[in-house]
Amino acid sequence: MYSITVFASGNGSNAENLIRWFNIRNSTGKARISLVVCNKEDAFVLKRAENLKVPSIVMKKSQLCLTDSSASPNIADVLKDNKIDFIVLAGYLLQVPKEITELYKGRIINIHPALLPSYGGKGMYGERVHKAVLSDMQEYIAEHSVENKDFYSGITIHLVDEEMDHGKILFQSSFRLNPDETLESLEEKIHIREQADYPRIVEAYLNSL
């Protein structure tokens, strides 16, 4: 059985969804979420993990630097001690260090709330992504003086490499935006697709190996 750690930074709804899928539903028994790693002591994802009886650990940014001997334990130590096979990112706001992407090449998966390669890269997460998408849509509508017929958003599930939001795409799901789309309505549509597709695609990828 594969041992998975989920990296998360905030509320943790996607992390909880993954835990319920693999640890409770557990359709194939091929993988289990055995650890949650978070970089914020007050993140609600830690409470979700506790409620679902999954161990968690808070790792500060300095502990991601494998060359900083003063930061103990570092992330590599934690992954080794917990015999982690795969890393799944679920709203994790820090970049995974190059040493870890090399060590876990092909074994780190991320979900992004837009259709990569658009709206990716440093600083593009959460509301920032949605605001950029809506701004570009409104600009498009204004320039063409027509209702939106060709503007889309969606989710991207991809492997993680040393570049942010760059690795091989495993899955994308898209939908056309409404001309009166709001930040709240777009967030809700993205959330629904994340909840429906992320655990399923992670499981499918594991089953393909």
Q: Would you please indicate which residues are annotated as catalytic (active-site) residues? A: 112
Task: Look up residue 23 and give its DSSP letter.
Answer: I
Cis status of the peptide bond prior to 113, with omega within 30 of 0: no
CA-CA distance, 45 to 59, in Å (whole number)? 13
* Host H or E run for residue 199: helix 183-208
**Torsional sign, CA 64, 69, 73, 76:** positive
Parallel, antiparallel or unpaired: strands 2-8 and 56-58:
unpaired
Tokens, residue 127: 């509301």
